[in-house]
Amino acid sequence: MAKLNINGTVREVSAEADTPLLWVIREHVGLTGTKYGCGIAQCGACSVHVNGEVQRSCSIPVGDVKETDLIVTIEGLSVGASHPVQKAWASVDVPQCGYCQSGQIMAAAALLKKNPKPTDKDIDEAMTNICRCGTYQRIREAVHVAAGVGTTGRSGG
Partner 1 sequence: MNKMVLNNTVLNNAVLEKNAELSRRTFIVGSAAVAGGGLALGLNVPFGIEEAQAQSAPAATEVNIWVAIKPDDTCVIRVARSEMGQGTITGLAQLVAEELECDWSKVTTEGITPGRNLASKRAWGEMGTGGSRGIRTSQDYVRRGGAVARMMLMQAAADQWNVPVAELTVSNGVITHAASKRSIRYGEVAAAAAKLTPPDAKSIKLKDPKDWKIAGKPLKRLDTADKLDGSKIFAIDLKLPGMLCAAIKDCPVFGGKLKSYDESKVAGMPGVKKVVRVKDTGVAVVADTWWRAKKALEALPIVWDEGPNTSQSSATIAEMLKEGLTATATNGERKNGDALKAIGEAAKKVEAVYATPFLAHAPMEMMNCTVKLSADRADAWTATQNLEASLAALSEASGIPLEKCEVHRHDLGGGFGRRGGTQDYVHQAVEIAKAFPDTPVKMIWSREEDQAHDFYRPISQCKMSAGLDAAGNLTGLHVRVSGQSINSMLNPKGIVDGKDMRQLQGYYDTPGDAQLGYDVPNLLIEYAMRNSHVPVGPWRGVNTNQNAVYMECFMEEVAKAAGKDSLEFRRALMKNHPKHLAVLNAAAEKGDWGKPLPAGVHRGIAQFMGYGSYSAAVAEVSVSPQGKLKVHRMVLAVNSGHAVNPGQIEAQVQGSVAFGLTATLYGEMPVENGRVTNLNFDTYEIMRLAEMPKVEVAIVPTYDFWGGIGEPTICVVAPAVLNAIYAATGKPVRSLPLKNVKLA
Q: Taking CB under 8 A as the rule, does residue 23 contact partner 1? A: yes
Which member of 2, 19, 54, 110 binds partner 1 (CB under 8 A)?
19
Sheet holding 53-56, edge to edge: 9-13, 2-6, 70-72, 47-50, 53-56
Distance in Å, CB of 12 to partner 1, minimum: 16
Which member of 17, 66, 67, 81 binds partner 1 (CB under 8 A)?
81
Please spell the DSSP secondary structure of 78-94, one letter per residue: -STT-SHHHHHHHHHT-
Residue 50, judged by CB atoms within 10 A of its CB (0-12, 13-18, 19+), counts as middle
Instruction: For residue 99, give the nearest of 124, 135, 138, 63 by alpha carbon.
Output: 135
Residue 110, φ and ψ in degrees, nearest 5:
-65, -40
Which member of 2, 6, 131, 146 binds partner 1 (CB under 8 A)?
131
- Binding part of the chain for partner 1, among 49-57, 63-71, 93-101, 109-117 by CB under 8 A, reads 93-101
- Residues in CB range of 74: below 8 A, 6 or more apart: 33, 34, 48, 102, 105, 106
Distance in Å, CB of 37 to partner 1, minimum: 5
Which member of 70, 99, 115, 150 binds partner 1 (CB under 8 A)?
99
- Binding part of the chain for partner 1, among 25-33, 49-57, 63-71, 109-117 by CB under 8 A, reads 25-33
Classify strands 2-6 and 70-72 as parallel, antiparallel or unpaired.
parallel
Q: Taking CB under 8 A as the rule, does residue 49 contact partner 1? A: no
Binding residues for partner 1, per CB under 8 A? 15-16, 18-20, 23, 26-28, 30-40, 42-43, 45, 73-75, 77-78, 80-81, 86, 89-90, 93-102, 105, 123-125, 127-140, 154-157
